[in-house]
């Protein structure tokens, strides 16, 4: 298997946050084994089915994350939201 959810990729990249593009009510979800691998590594998971459009901005040092839902305007996303 290859892809961005494999253990080898996650070991090499060591992400802090990942964005999952998924539609609400599409009848498909992120595979449980993929979610488990990200959770075990403490990677924050931002999901478009829950947050709508996601905006990530940087000042060159820190990342600021914004979600469009549920307020229908971009609002900061706190770590406890993902």
Residue 22's pLDDT band (boundaries 50, 70, 90)? confident
Residue 79's pLDDT band (boundaries 50, 70, 90)? confident
**Predicted pLDDT at 2:** 64
* Residue range 37-49, pLDDT digits in tens: 999 999 999 999 8
- Say if CB 12 and CB 40 are below 8 A apart: no
pTM, two decimal places: 0.81
């Amino acid at each position: 298997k290859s892809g961005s959810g494999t253990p080898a990729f996650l070991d090499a990249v060591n992400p802090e946050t990942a964005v999952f593009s998924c539609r609400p009510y599409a009848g498909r979800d992120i595979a449980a084994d993929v979610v488990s691998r990200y959770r075990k590594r403490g990677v924050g998971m931002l999901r478009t089915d829950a947050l709508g459009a996601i905006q990530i901005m940087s000042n060159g040092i820190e990342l600021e994350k914004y979600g469009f839902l549920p307020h229908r305007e971009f609002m900061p996303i706190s770590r406890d939201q993902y």
